[in-house]
Amino acid sequence: MTREVRAFAVTVLTLAALGVAAGLLWSGVSPRAPYTVTEDGTSVLADPSTQALIAADGWFAVITGGLGLLCGGVAWFAARRFMLPVLLGLCAGGVLGAALTLWIGSTFTIGAVMVEAAVVPGVKVVPGALKLTASGVLVSWPLLAVGLFGLLEGMHGYGEPQLRPPYGNLP
């Protein structure tokens, strides 16, 4: 296995492992929307004006976006020899990490904090499962990781022109 492939694989696997931890964190901090169980066994949103669904999306974006910034910065500082494989690994690993965060967070329930609902007394209210209502937040991890990586590389390369001398230093 070449060093470039190894750098890509290590980046993807590291971000996937972070995705598992991020999913558990998302499950622990996000509030659950309240649902009522009807007589036929189906669940209906107990309070249609609840903000818990939006809060779950927000917590997902904050957690995965923060990890994207962290991973992009660490990868740029650590991968000076293998820039392209690590950059591709950030993109693929960010997508995989976000998908694992969604799957782990919606599958495992940790610290089910349920918001209060205004329902009829005697009606059973249960916390709902975590899910994303804004699927666009799935790209926050890879987008911010690749964006910060590119920004740092652009700032680093700006002071060192490779093709021509700076303006004013012509012979």
Q: What is the pLDDT of residue 53?
A: 77
Q: Could you tell me the two tokens for 119?
A: 């329902």
Q: Under 8 Å CB-to-CB from 87, ≥6 apart: which residues?
A: 75, 146, 149, 150
Q: What is the pLDDT of residues 35-61, one digit of tens each?
A: 777 777 677 666 666 777 788 899 999
Q: How far apart are CA 91 and CA 76, in angstroms?
A: 13
What angle separates helix 3-29 from helix 83-107, to the nearest 10 degrees?
30
pLDDT at 16 exceeding the cut of 60: yes
Question: What are the C-alpha distances in Å from 118 to residues 7, 66, 108?
Answer: 53, 34, 27
Q: What is the pLDDT of residues 116-152, one digit of tens each?
A: 555 555 566 666 777 888 889 999 999 999 999 999 9
For strands 34-37 and 43-45, give the pairing.
antiparallel
Average confidence (pLDDT) over 67-84 = 92
pTM of the model: 0.79
